[in-house]
Structure 1
Amino acid sequence: MSARPRTALVVRAALVSVLACGALTACGSDEEALRYATDYANHEPLGVVGYPTSDSLRITQQLVWRLADGKAGEVEALAADPDDARGDVERTARNWIRSFHEGAKGKVTAEFYDEG
């Protein structure tokens, strides 16, 4: 293993530890923050072009992670209003996983233009 990938792995592990520790000490019951830190550690970093808002970056990361994991139910849960046209949301989640699952497991770059 070359020095660069090893360094990146160490930096990534340190960042995850800090995020996890911060999530646990700031709010012991904040499962969402802990899950985010765990997801961050378990997936390829998301490349970013442009200037996303923190919220648009977070939802984009979560969508890519759920597609990579192949979990239709979790993709559905990201819908703005999952109760609207329930069948459409389920069908869309399955179609997206079928189309983007393999690609989402590798390096992904999200492009943000104009406003987030």
Structure 2
Amino acid sequence: MVIGSFRPFEIDELDVLEREVGLLLPASRRSFLQAVGGESFAYSVLLPDCGPEPLQSFGDLYELGRDSAGEYDYGTLLGEYRRSSDWWVANEVQLLGLLPIARDAE
């Protein structure tokens, strides 16, 4: 189930994102972002090896484009990508080209 409404965005935001990340988005991801842009997408994924909580939920997709203040800040794809080097996992995994897509609902 997709829950909106989604914040409008300029279509060139896809190009801005791809230039900064340095990779082209797969056509299916580009189409998805063009359709919804981000914000809220209610779903859960069953991950049996992730006990004691094997059901993982993601409540907020990062938005394509700028936030309501006109910035690439927290909660935007580009803002989260720019901050990814500050994450603890950046010490363990090469994050170049890895695009964050959602925030854990909890």
In terms of Rg, which structure is larger?
1
Q: Which has the higher contact order (CA 8 A, sep 6+)?
A: 1
TM-score by structure 1 length?
0.27
TM-score by structure 2 length?
0.28
Higher normalized strand content (fraction of residues): 2
